[in-house]
Amino acid sequence: MNLNIFFIYKKKTFIHQMKIFFFFFSFLFFSNHEIWSRPTVYVFPPTYIGEDSEKIKFIEETLRNEIHRFYDLAHNPSYENIVVDFMKEKSGEILDQFFYGECKEDCLLSQRILLQKLLMKSLYSLTVTDSRNVTKIVLLRVLKDKAEARTEYCESCTQDDLKESIRSLVIQLEGPAEIVEEEKVKDEGTTNLRARFFSGGASSSAVSSTLSGLQLFWGNLGLGYGKWRFKYKDTSYSMDLESNLIDFLYRYELPIEKSSSDLGGDSYDLTLGLGIVTSGIGTLKRDDVKYSGSSVSGYQFSSFFTQQRGLWEAFLGLSFQGKYYYDLRSSESGLIHDRRVNWVNFLIGLGIYY
């Protein structure tokens, strides 16, 4: 038995394919951004006046979660730098007006300028003041043409009471409570179904490799089917290999609030897959003799980065495959050949979930 280790890689071709790959990805995600994504808003860290400093983390988390039900939230550090530099230029009076929910003419004018710098729909600032047994909660929203504030008071305020007050203030500014609650029940009571289609490959002057397939998810678990075709030809011999794969998939939703960059979109996830070869056909032509067989084994490791916008998903991925074709025979020769192939494919795809 003749065992060959076969791995082909050409640097210039690889770089060229990567440029095309990432250009298409960038176009897919960032062109027509308004069509794909919700408006983006900026939420200031809340201001807390009181003795229980541990409340601030809970207050901020609650505020961001409630506003995120309506908008995408800016969380890129570059935005923080713009805001900090801008605020340093403003007087103490303007800052007090903004952070304490009393944004008047000068304050509104300055925040409009900040909105233009950030290219966002609106700004939000929450102030929570504890005084004896009464808690005052003020939420300020600044738009390009106006500033609005809503206030609630809470006696002997528990954490649940505070959470409910923040939710109420956001709803007062953004929409009817019954719509939000209906969406919440729907989100918590259903499991998302997803269907994803992908295609891709990697080629050079002597090699052509393509991989395409379908993935179906119930919640975070999924199954995938892929079809791989590989062709190689040089002066001494040629190969034509095909195989079918089943993938076992797991998706992990990335914590968008902790991301160091802002790509927009509703959420991101990372999907990992382990695949096995279920069937295949291999053909080898050498010295004008054709050898063929259907004995094949192998595996596939894959990973995908996915972004969700509305009902749609777009993703890019990478797969590494190891295949072993053996018992390749010919009626014209007594020789038996085998081939081992390791290969990387670059993938891109679209999906829908509901």
Query: What pLDDT score does 28 carry?
Result: 45
Which residue intervals of the chain bear CATH 2.40.160.20?
5-33+192-353
Q: Which token pair is 110?
A: 């300055």
pLDDT for the residue numbered 196: 96
Rounded to an integer, the average pLDDT of 24-31 is: 48
Q: Which residues pair with 243 in a beta bridge?
A: 228, 280
CA distance 186 to 28: 29
CATH code for residues 5-33+192-353: 2.40.160.20
pLDDT recorded at residue 13:
45
With a cut of 80, say whether residue 144 has pLDDT above it: no
CB atoms within 10 A of CB 53: 8
Tokens representing 135?
A: 């808690």
Q: What is the mean pLDDT of residues 31-45?
A: 63
Q: Residue type for 344, please?
A: V
Asked whether residue 181 carries a pLDDT value surpassing 80, the answer given is: no
Q: What angle do CA 80, 82, 86 make, to 5 degrees?
A: 115
List the end-to-end C-alpha distance of the chain, in Å, as a whole number: 52
79-92 pLDDT per residue, tens: 666 766 666 666 66
pLDDT at position 80, please?
66
Give me the pLDDT at residue 335, please.
Answer: 86
Q: How many helices and strands, by DSSP H and E, does the chain display?
A: 8, 16
| Fold category of 39-189 in CATH | Double Stranded RNA Binding Domain (3.30.160)
Helices assigned H by DSSP within the chain: 11-30, 33-36, 55-68, 77-88, 92-99, 105-118, 159-174, 177-189
Q: Is the pLDDT of residue 175 over 60?
A: yes
What pLDDT, on a 0 to 100 scale, did the predictor assign at position 277?
95
Among 129-143, 177-191, 223-237, 260-274, the range scoring the smallest mean pLDDT is 177-191
CA 114 to chain centre: 28
Q: Cβ contacts of residue 86 below 8 Å, gap of 6+?
A: 113, 114, 117
Token representation of residue 155: 């006696």
Q: CATH 3.30.160.100 occupies which residues in the chain?
A: 39-189
pTM for the model stands at: 0.51
Provide the mean pLDDT of the chain: 79
For residue 287, name the pLDDT band (cuts at 50, 70, 90): confident
Strand partners, 5: 340
pLDDT band at 15 (very low <50, low <70, confident <90, very high): very low
Q: What was the pLDDT predicted at 115?
A: 74
pLDDT band of 2, cuts 50, 70, 90: very low
The most confident of 55-64, 76-85, 168-177, by mean pLDDT: 55-64
**Amino acid at position 196, single letter:** R
pLDDT over 70 at 183, yes or no: no
Q: Give me the mean pLDDT over the 315-343 stretch.
A: 91
What's the rounded Cα separation, in Å, for the pair 199 and 317?
10
pLDDT more than 90, % of the chain: 36
Residue 126 contacts residue 47 (beta carbons within 8 Å): yes
